[in-house]
Amino acid sequence: MTPELITSAQNPKLKRLLALQEKSRLRRSEGVFVVEGRRELEHCLAAGYEVEAVFICPEIYTCHSERSEGISTFHLSKEIYAKVAYREGTEGIIAEVKAKYLTLDDLALKEHPLVMVLEGVEKPGNLGAVLRSADAAGADAVIICDPLTDLYNPNLIRASIGAVFTVPVVCCSSEDAIAFLKARGIRILTAQLQDSSPYYDVDMTCGTALVMGTEATGLTPVWRIAADAHILIPMLGRLDSLNVSVSAAILLYEAVRQRQVVVKKDLF
């Protein structure tokens, strides 16, 4: 398919692209979102997402792929591309992609899964950073309960560096998530200050769900009641909490550490 050249920032296709970047309501109503950057788009394609259109700046993007065959492709000048690019330092490629929304029933969890659960976290950057840590730690899934931000928010995709596509992510209510975890015998460990043990003293080698809430209000009572154990990260300074993405990384890698220790013991 021969690329169509767009020479005006007032082009309707570019106006739609910008609207999809800025308006979560439009993304939800049309089931389409925007991916910017080569690395993020590669992860998106590898996860089986369907690309509807690609906007390329040939002066910047030089890595052409056969996977663009049959996809509506538009070429933009460097000046026009700069007007629609969401971030600086981008690689000259933006795509409109059909959204996919997984449900809890879609999760195919292995034995002794490691699941990250977030309740009511609203900052896209924090969610994206947690997804990035979940990917790095090999988590089996991330469950976002009662979400206050759009899963396909451009800031979330950017902060995750494409991990939103590499880790199975489900949005649902806290009640549904608790029922799902309990039915599968997955231990619920809630991160909270009250009545808690240091995270490194709690077993994470079995099926484990690490549950975190907002920095301001923490978890709602429904999670505290459902928990099999309450855990905390000791704070040795004057502050009483860490950024939720930092806390998530610490807990995820503690689970990794414990599981590696068990594997080494089994080998000997």
SS in 3 state form for the chain? CCCEEECCCCCHHHHHHHHHHHCHHHHHHHCEEEEECHHHHHHHHHCCCCEEEEEECCCCCCCCCHHHCCCEEEEECHHHHHHHCCCCCCCCEEEEEECCCECHHHCCCCCCCEEEEEECCCCHHHHHHHHHHHHHCCCCEEEEECCCCCCCCHHHHHHHCCHHHHCCEEEECHHHHHHHHHHCCCEEEEECCCCCEEHHHCCCCCCEEEEECECCCECCHHHHHHCCEEEECCCCCCCCCCCHHHHHHHHHHHHHHHHHHHHHHHHC
Rg (CA), the chain: 21
Question: Residue 46 pLDDT > 60, yes or no?
Answer: yes
- Contact (CB, 8 A) for 128 and 155: yes
For the chain, give every domain's residue range: 4-98, 104-267
Residue 66 pLDDT class (50, 70, 90 cuts): very low
Mean pLDDT along residues 59-74: 73
- Greater confidence, 39 or 240? 39
Phi, psi at 98, each rounded to 5°: -75, 135
- Burial class of residue 145, CB neighbours in 10 A (0-12, 13-18, 19+): buried
Q: Nearest CA to 166 among 34, 254, 49, 247?
A: 49
pLDDT tens-digit readout, 195-247: 899 999 999 999 999 999 987 778 999 999 999 999 999 999 998 888 999 99
Q: What is the pLDDT of residue 89?
A: 64
- Mean pLDDT, the chain, as a whole number? 91
Residue 267 pLDDT class (50, 70, 90 cuts): low
Q: Nearest CA to 174 among 197, 148, 139?
A: 148
Q: How far apart are CA 160 and CA 170, in angstroms?
A: 15
Tokens standing for residue 49: 């997402």
- Whether 104-267 and 4-98 are alike in CATH topology: the answer is no
Tokens standing for residue 171: 């949005």
- Burial class of residue 64, CB neighbours in 10 A (0-12, 13-18, 19+): exposed
pLDDT tens-digit readout, 1-32: 678 899 898 999 999 999 999 999 999 999 99
Task: Look at 80-94, 124-138, 234-248 and tell me which has the smallest mean pLDDT.
Answer: 80-94
Fold of 104-267: Alpha/beta knot (3.40.1280)
Fold of 4-98: 60s Ribosomal Protein L30; Chain: A; (3.30.1330)
Q: What is the pLDDT of residue 22?
A: 92
HSE at residue 79, side-chain half, CA atoms within 13 A, is 4
HSE at residue 257, side-chain half, CA atoms within 13 A, is 11
Q: Nearest CA to 210 among 168, 235, 247?
A: 247
